[in-house]
Structure 1
Amino acid sequence: MPFQLPLTKTRFSDLLANTTFARLLAGRIITDAGDSLYYIGSMWLVYDLTGSTFYTGLAAALLQVPNVLSFLVGPLIDRWDLRPILLGTQLTNALGVLIVPLVATLGHLTVWWVLILMPILDLINGFVYPAQNAALPKIVGSEQLTRANSMFTTSIRTVGMIANAVAGVLISALGAIALFAIDATTFVLAGVLFLGVTTTNTTDDQSNTSDDATTDDSYLTDLRGGIAYVRGSALSVILLGMMLGNFVSVAVNVVLPAFANSIGGPSVYGFLMAAMGAGNLAGAAVASYIERYTVGQIAVGSNLTAGVFWIAAVMIPGSIPTMALLFGAVLPVGAFNVIYGSMYQSAVDDSLLGRVSSLTRTLSSVMMPLGGLVGGAAANVISSQGVLYIVGGTHIVLAVFYLSHPRIRSLPTVVDADEAALAL
């Protein structure tokens, strides 16, 4: 039987006909565009104010601390209504990003304002991603999860890629501080869209009163239950690899401003980030085409391919080849991330999705602050190119690790993934 493309116009139309899904998607696209503008502006502003990769490393480390604490929000997401979470985070961030232009106007802007503000805003917006993951299985059918995740990631990466490039151009034309003022409008628009997002709470404790549901004992019980659910499973093995992968990914973000500055300045930085965003976009787009392969095969193949492309990106000179190779390095990892997300959304009990999603974010991010500090320090010793070589080698090591682990090798396809297959 000939191979049929899984992503058809009708299937996309079916998803977009779901009003709640469409509003969640549109709001997430806009808030992620704001995040891209904010991240590029912040990292460049830190480098511009200090001229030091140590401070960009410190900024990257501080920015990842909220991700490490993400597991704490899981029980809250499983209990709270989705709409107030989404709306509250956006309005708070809209006000928060305006602090930098205000302080700059008053003539008191230092790097410490940016370093303190970055993790606070990221902590607030850290509710959005696990909330979305917990909401999707309640909004679309299980057979649509991979397509829905692919559409989310594809759309978000498209806008993120454009936003990264636009951010670099805007920094050249207007300065980094202007991005913060522009960013405030994106958070307001996202909040308006999130007003129309509602889901049904499926937790077993739904019948409890709000006072009972928010007691310390209940919260801690839910928190421990989510950790016990994942411990010893295939998810924990994959997360171990993700910890290492994300450690080096933050190092990339740390050295990229200095690397880009050496070959062209902020516009090149924006385009390098855009190339990586495009790779994530392409990876998300092809995820549905490769879901017929087992998750284990995808885990090994994606990391091996990524490693080869990262090394080639360092070896071959020129900004255009570098952009193209960075695109190829990020693409397979982007595809695997969609497959991984769809796998656990399909297998995990709905009442635990908030906890598992936030726990996943925490564990995959736990090494990222250290990656920022080490990356910044290493760039001063071995150069930014040397750091990128290490990134490529790390992905190859991850491919070998996944290939050698029997639990990962035995993982089924996304469609066949369930609690038993993942040893949950």
Structure 2
Amino acid sequence: MINPNFSKLVFGRAIGNAGDSIYMIAMNWFILKLTDSALWIGIMNAAIVLPGILLFLFGSTIDKHSKRRLLVAVEFSQLVVVVLLIVALLAHVKLAGVYVILVFIAALFGSLAYPIQDALVPLIVKKDELVQAQEYMSIAYKGTDYVFNALSGFLIGLLSVLGILIADAVTFVVTVLTFNRIKVHEPHHRPAETSEPYFQQVLVGFKIISKNRLLGLLTFSSAVLNFFFGGLNTYVVLFGRHFGGSIYYGILESMSAVGTLVGMTLLYRSLKRLSVRVAYLIGNLGCTIFMFLTVVAFNQFWAFAVVYLGSFIFLGLTQVYETPMIQASVAADQLGKVMTSFYTLVSITLPLGSIAFAYLADRFDLRLFLFLFGVFDAVVFLLFALSRSFRRVDDLQL
């Protein structure tokens, strides 16, 4: 690990994400048992997703205050909400809206942890260690998500929803204590008073992204990619049905998880000697080739599964580089605003993609979706390959 303080950040994030992964799924299961309504499941999932769209409202606050203290505060706030959920369960509260509101608040604090961490990392590690740091953070984010999402059904049956929430409260206690032990030098200055209206302050991040061509390109590609991933969340279920049932759906979900982790670790490490620009272009080109190959292999499951895995391996490689490029391109006192604006823009398109492609699912062949995904990947590859601003990305000295 890069240094002891960064190790604490990674450990705390991994523990916190493990708890989050299980309890969000547990609450979906609980709300289904409580209401026996698919509508309420949709409302619960909306409560989990919507906070990401609101993050830009908090960018100025992140930049003005201690990132470490804010990180401890949002984790402690999630602990308080989970305790309230436990109390509601023990009190046999039957109002679904109460649980939805509490989950929304918890999800808001949980979403805030990501831009706060992204703003904190450059204060803990050196500039040329940002990409390596992102590799570890990606494993802490996604690795624990994938593992505990896979185990969630078993754990809910073993511990019950109440047991899951109690275990989740314990993970937040560990996370708070771990983050509180991080030692980082942050400027102790009082934020300058400004007459600028608050609404204009929260828009600063969007303005920085729009004026910086590299940031604009990264944001555009991530936002549209999330639009397609919103569709993929629907289509992967249909792929499973096409091949014969839920077991095939489960295998494809596992392939995407394993592929992303392999790309973030093994492929990234094998290409570390290459420049950031070349490695990132290889990732985009690999995504393009393998996504088009899924169309060709669509009638044979294992051939399809292998190339599907390949597309996620190269996707995982690109994800290691994206956040460090943003971190290295933005001044430290503006990073909170930019990261929250970035997360807001890429969060909006995920539910839009889910709705749009769910509507279109019965109206065209499943292979057309894969082909369109491949076309988008090809366009992204060409945009980055031809971008003048991206040609200078190695000047960031990541």
TM class by shorter chain equals 0.7 to 0.9
| 3-state SS, counterpart of residue 217 of structure 1 | coil
Change in CA separation of 1:53 and 1:281 when aligned onto 2, cut-off 3 Å: farther
Show CA shifts across 1:259-284 (max 9, x none): 8899459xx98876554333322221
Matched with 1:358 is: 340
3-state DSSP of counterpart to 2:196: helix
Identity fraction in percent: 23
2:48 aligned with 1:88 = no
The structure-2 alpha-carbon separation of the partners of 1:394 and 1:216, relative to structure 1 and needing over 3 Å to count, comes to: farther
Residue matched to 1:181: 166
In 2, the alpha carbon distance for the partners of 1:334 and 1:375 equals: 23
Q: Indicate the residue corresponding to 1:200 in structure 2.
A: 185
Q: 2:321 — aligned with what?
A: 339
TM-score of the superposed pair, with normalisation by structure 1: 0.76
State the secondary structure of the residue aligned to 1:231. helix
Contact 2:281–2:384 (8 Å) recurs in 1: no
Letter matched to residue 307 of structure 1: M
CA separation in 2, counterparts of 1:390 and 1:110? 43
2:291 is aligned, of 307, 317, 320, to: 307
Tell me if structure 2 keeps the 8 A contact 1:57–1:374: no
Query: Which AA in structure 1 matches 2:172?
Result: F
Correspondences of 1:49-88 after superposition (within 5 Å): 56-88=41-73
Question: Given that residues 90 and 187 in structure 1 are in contact (C-alpha distance below 8 angstroms), is that contact kept between their aligned partners in structure 2?
Answer: yes
Counterpart Cα distance in 2 of 1:310 and 1:113: 43
Partner in structure 1 of residue 16 of structure 2? 31
Aligned to 1:246: 226
Change in Cα spacing, 1:251 to 1:189, as seen in structure 2 (3 Å) is farther
Matched with 1:20 is 5
- Structure 1 residues 364 and 86: CA distance shift in structure 2, 3 A: same
TM-aligned CA distance change 1:392 to 1:255, over 3 Å? closer
Is the helix fraction higher in 1 or 2?
Answer: 2
**Counterpart in 2 of 1:227?**
206
Residue in structure 1 matched with residue 116 of structure 2 by the alignment: 131
Say whether the 8 Å CA contact 2:47–2:107 is kept in structure 1.
no
Distance 1:161 1:41, change over 3 A: same
Q: Tell me how far apart the structure 1 counterparts of residues 45 and 296 of structure 2 sit (CA, whole Å).
A: 25
| Superposed displacement of residue 121, structure 1 | 1.4
Give, in angstroms, the shift of residue 307 of structure 1.
Answer: 2.6
Cα deviation code 1:99-158 (max 9, x no counterpart): 445444444446544543333211112221111111111111111111111122124333
Distance 2:371 2:9 in 1: 37
What is the CA RMSD across the aligned residues, in angstroms? 3.7
Residue identity matched to 1:40: I
CA distance in 1, matches of 2:160, 2:232: 23
Structure 2, unmatched stretches of 5+, are none
What CA distance in whole angstroms lies between the structure 2 residues aligned with 1:357 and 1:250?
A: 21
Cα contact 1:60–1:254 (8 A) shared by 2: no
Q: How many residues align?
A: 389
- Per-residue displacement from partner, 1:282-319 (whole Å, max 9, x unpaired)? 2211335446252662463254146347658965448x
1:194 Cα shift? 0.7
Partner of 1:287: 268
Q: Give the letter aligned to residue 374 of structure 2.
A: I
Q: Quick one: distance in 2 between partners of 1:186 and 1:257? A: 31
